[in-house]
Chain A
Amino acid sequence: MQVALKIWRANSSTGGRELCEYEVDAPEWATLLDVLDIIKDRHDGTLAYRKSCRMMICGSCGMRMDGAAVLACKTRMASIAESGHVPVISPMGNLPIVKDLVVDMEPFWAKFRAVKPYLQPGYTVPPANREHRISQKRMNAIHKESLCINCGCCVSECNAMESSPEFLGPQALAKAMRFVGDPRDGAKNERLEDVNGQHGIWECTRCYFCNERCPKGVDPRDAIAKLGAESIKEGIDRDMGAKHAKWFVHSAKTTGWLRETELVPKTQGIVESIKQARFALSLARVGKVPPPFPPHVAKDVRESRRLHELLHEQELGGFAGVVQGEAALAKLANGHVEGARDPYGPGSFPKPEGA
């Protein structure tokens, strides 16, 4: 089949940047990586990109197709070629470009190292003549986070990191959860403190681009939520983000609906609220600051309060609360749901009029 691509070429040493178009003949089963190999082998040997295993396990070939990070070796080209669409291939975002599709991964690895991605065991002595036994169920708590191949696709698309480059990011935080949830690790609370800083879990903007782009199903956003839940459970809750989250819990069990007006001082504190007074006035002037009294109480809110008390007794706190739903959601991810759409399937690239 004929496959056409546009590739953003760049050279960090010369500063040059240009969009080059290529059209090659490729087999029906070709992936984006195969097409790049054909281009490099037969048409333009100067094209630079990373690759290794070509089977979605080494994490080398992360790059953007039409602005969205993918693994080149995972992306089949047949339906795209058939539709006549010419995708634009560019390097991953949020990382400095070295050449063409090669980015400097050092900032990525630096954040990875920052979460201490290795077991720090407590060296407890196992029972006499036995070994430490850990149930499958307990290890399931970190199953998804363990799937990470460090490809960078999540980091490439992270909206929070684009605005705040020092944000630890989805990959490092998912890795942190992989160790926080590992029962063999002896440093859980230190790890939680490490991810509760200025550029930790509470800077995640919840755009869900990471979940959407991850080629392995890690769901970094969910890992970040697990870290939040575990932090709050362990009393590590000084951050405004934690206070914000806790106020929602308090609202749900007292009035049902969110207690909006008190949200600002409860999250940001009195001093900051006073600083924001003029801004608050612009909202109050149009009626967007409802008076806290009388409180806006939902019907039958005692059911919500009782639920909260009941669940507290059942002790499924922290990240366990998120893990309990993962088996069902995995069914979704593996295609056991009607109506799931193929983004490159028929009809995805409508041809312009007269084409």
Chain B
Amino acid sequence: MGTVKRVAYYKGCLASLSAKELDSATQALAPRVGLELEELESVTCCGAGDIQEAEPDYSLHLNARILSYAAATGCDTLMTVCNVCTLNLRQANFQLIGDAELRARVNRNLISVGVPAYEHDVDVRHLLWELAEGEGWARLQGAAHKGLKGLKIAPFYGCQILRPSRILGFEDPDRPSSLERIIEACGGEAVDYPAKLKCCGFPIIQAREETALGELVQPIEQAIEAGADAMVTPCPLCHLSLDAWQSKLKATTGRDFALPILHLSQLIGVAAGLGESELKFKRHVVPVGPVLEKLDG
């Protein structure tokens, strides 16, 4: 059976609210893949790249606080389920670990507002990485017993789990394979298409909608052309773009793509035999029903 890995779990803003289905699926999946989640509560938004842009000193401290509370659980790993959280926490972590003077300053500030200092280092890892290698990978094979029966799944990585690679560093940013391997381990067929590693446009979907939709249409259109039944992404912000904003592409392209978009935890959850009460597909804008019927049919 192997030992269970206890990780500090930082769910981030979206999994807490509009993407509750991601948290629900992750919490249900965790025990089946040997993960014990210690959910962090005294935390805030990681900054989402926005606080990094508006008040970078504040965003560094917010992330240091999250890291500090993660370290306080005694876990070595802080696990995320969002690309943006992963980049922001890892970037802050490298800054603090690599610069003792900076860490000392930040810790002085943390202590003076009642937060424990960040002393013992933690490693920030996305659920995707936990399951794509090592013990997690071994567990995944066993957990995905129901399988996806050859369903064609288009992997959409999302920028901030790959780039900048010196901060993320899990795999080659131009030739990643973690999603493909997980799809195949779950019994699906990974579908390739040119925009697999490009941007969904989410960061500018409000401020520059037209530009964002010009990006968003690419992975959706190409995945459909490549024969995908559904798409999977490890980032809930990409998920929002791909799923909730998919209908906006009708106005620009005249096409109703109807491509179901799954969170990573949900895809594995389906292969592991989890049900609607845990996976909460009803919360998706583009209905996932058709692809589930295909699986059961």
Contacts A260-B17, A296-B17 known; A341 to B169 CB distance under 8 Å?
yes
A96 at the interface (CB under 8 A from B): no
Q: Is the CB of A298 within 8 A of B47?
A: no
The contact string, 1 if C-beta is below 8 Å from chain A, for chain B 42-55, is 11110111111111
User: Is B249 an interface residue, CB under 8 A from the partner?
Assistant: no
Q: Is A283 an interface residue (CB 8 A)?
A: yes
* B173 engages A212 (CB within 8 Å): yes
Main secondary structure of the interface of A (DSSP, over half): helix
A288 and B207 within 8 A (CB):
no
Q: Are B207 and A267 in contact (CB under 8 A)?
A: yes
| B251-271 to A contact mask, C-beta < 8 Å, 1/0 | 000000000000000000000
Q: Which of B28-36, B72-80, B108-116, B182-190 is the contact stretch? A: B108-116
A260 to B203, CA, bound (A): 14
Is B211 in the interface zone, CB < 8 Å from A? yes
Tally of B interface residues using CB under 8 Å? 77
Encode contact with A along B216-257: 1 for CB under 8 Å, 0 otherwise.
000000000000000000000000000010011000000000
Main secondary structure of the interface of B (DSSP, over half): helix
> Is A179 in contact with chain B by the CB < 8 A criterion?
no
Instruction: List B contacts of A225 (CB < 8 A).
Output: 49, 52-53, 56
Residues of A within 8 A of B (CB): 66-68, 159-160, 162-164, 167, 202-209, 211-212, 219, 221, 224-226, 228-229, 232, 239-242, 244-249, 251-252, 256-258, 260, 263-264, 267-268, 279, 282-283, 286-290, 296, 298-301, 303-304, 306-308, 310-311, 314, 316-317, 319-322, 324-325, 327-329, 331-333, 337, 339-341, 343, 348
Binding site for A on B (CB under 8 A): 13-14, 16-20, 41-45, 47-62, 65, 91-92, 94-99, 102, 109-110, 112-115, 159-160, 163-167, 169, 171-175, 198-199, 201, 203-204, 206-208, 210-212, 214-215, 244, 247-248, 282-285
26 contacts between A and B (CB under 8 A): A66-B174, A159-B198, A160-B204, A205-B215, A206-B160, A206-B203, A207-B199, A225-B52, A229-B55, A241-B208, A245-B54, A249-B50, A252-B58, A257-B13, A257-B17, A258-B48, A287-B20, A303-B42, A306-B114, A310-B112, A329-B95, A337-B166, A340-B166, A341-B165, A341-B169, A343-B172
